[in-house]
Structure 1
Amino acid sequence: MKVDVLTEIVIAAPCERVAAYAADPSHAPEWYENIVSVEWRTPAPATVGSRMAFTARFLGRRLSYTYEITAYEPGRRLVMRTGEGPFPMETSYTWEPHGEAGNHTRMTLRNRGEPSGFASVGARVLTAAMRRAQRKDLARLKALLERGPAAAG
């Protein structure tokens, strides 16, 4: 069973600021509850072909995987993929100005892939857990960015 989870949120901050912060994988441990660490495998900053090693905890398991950025349009869209581990996955972000004044951002976070091994047994449970985690992560990002520039450096 394939997993495809899309969540979105509106953040009261300009699109450029939200995208610049969220597109930098170094910030992931600050707003992703399950990301423990990120280590660059290629030189920063993020660009197509950049690779980063992530360590995460999810559903009681420790996961290590390397993402590669496969598409990047600064301020608009970022796509990363991994073929490693029990859950080869693609993660994508989009950002667009929201509201009449354009000082808000609509951000989407999408994770999709086809689990194997332990993850394939409970794909429905996995999907529900991912949806909950993504909502929490976007809420955490929103709170962080709405506190101001000093909070989300």
Structure 2
Amino acid sequence: MVDVQTEIVIRRTRDEVAEYAANPDHAPDWYVNIQSAEWQTPRPLTVGSRIAFRAQFLGKTLAYVYEIAEYVPGQRLVMRTADGPFPMETTYTWEPVEGDATRMTLRNRGNPTGFSAFIAPFMAVMMRRANRNDLMRIKGILEEKQR
């Protein structure tokens, strides 16, 4: 099992951070590896919504569909995919800290199969690095909006 959790404090309100991060249309802007996000169900985001993503990871192009499993606006978002060799669950949580700042947590966990299972420890290291970069990127985007 791969289970990677990272967090960052962003100097924006919880509602601002959550609204931006939970919008799949913004994913290519702040996720380093995501190239596109395409809605497969009508907007707005709700439990059962499906979004197709295309990404680059470890030199490979990945195409996968996430389904929203849980969504509490401003607090928590859980998406899951069962497609491909690496079923994944991604969770975002947002909590207010330090006045108008927000702690955003990004967690990815899954059970790789086949060859992916063999390289799972390496994948966890690479995912942790990518997640840190992603959170730094969203922090920069959202904090820059303040200026």
TM over 0.5: yes
**RMSD (CA atoms):** 1.1
Is residue 2:18 matched to residue 1:36? Answer: no
Cα distance in 2 for partners of 1:85, 1:25 equals 20
Structure 2: state its 5+ residue gaps: none
Range with greater deviation from structure 2 (114-123 or 62-71)? 114-123
Report what 2:128 is aligned to.
Answer: 131
Corresponding residue for 1:105? 102
How far residue 118 of structure 1 moved from its aligned partner, in angstroms, is 2.8
* Distance in 1 (alpha carbons) for counterparts of 2:128 and 2:141: 20
Gaps of 5+ in 1: none
Q: Matched residue of 2:145: which SS? A: coil
Structure 2 equivalent of residue 148 of structure 1: 145
Give the distance between the partners of 1:11 and 1:45, measured in 2 at CA: 25
**Amino acid corresponding to residue 117 of structure 1 in structure 2:** G
Question: Which runs of structure 2 are paired with 1:69-108 in the superposition (5 Å)?
Answer: 69-99=68-98, 101=99, 103-108=100-105
Identity of aligned residues (%): 60
**Secondary structure at the counterpart of residue 148 of structure 1:** helix
* CA distance in structure 2 between the partners assigned to 1:143 and 1:77 by the alignment: 21
Q: TM-score, normalised by structure 1?
A: 0.94
Q: What's the TM-score once normalised by structure 2's chain length?
A: 0.97
After the TM superposition, which parts of structure 1 deviate over 2 Å for at least 4 consecutive aligned residues?
none
Once residues 116 and 58 of structure 1 are traced to their aligned partners in structure 2, the CA distance between those partners, rounded to angstroms, is 17
1:26 paired residue number: 25
For residues 105 and 55 of structure 2, the distance between their equivalents in structure 1, rounded to whole angstroms, comes to 21
Q: Deviations over 1:87-122 (max 9, x none)?
A: 1000000001011x2x00000000000011232111
CA separation of 1:149/1:47 partners in 2, compared to 1, >3 Å: closer, same or farther?
A: farther
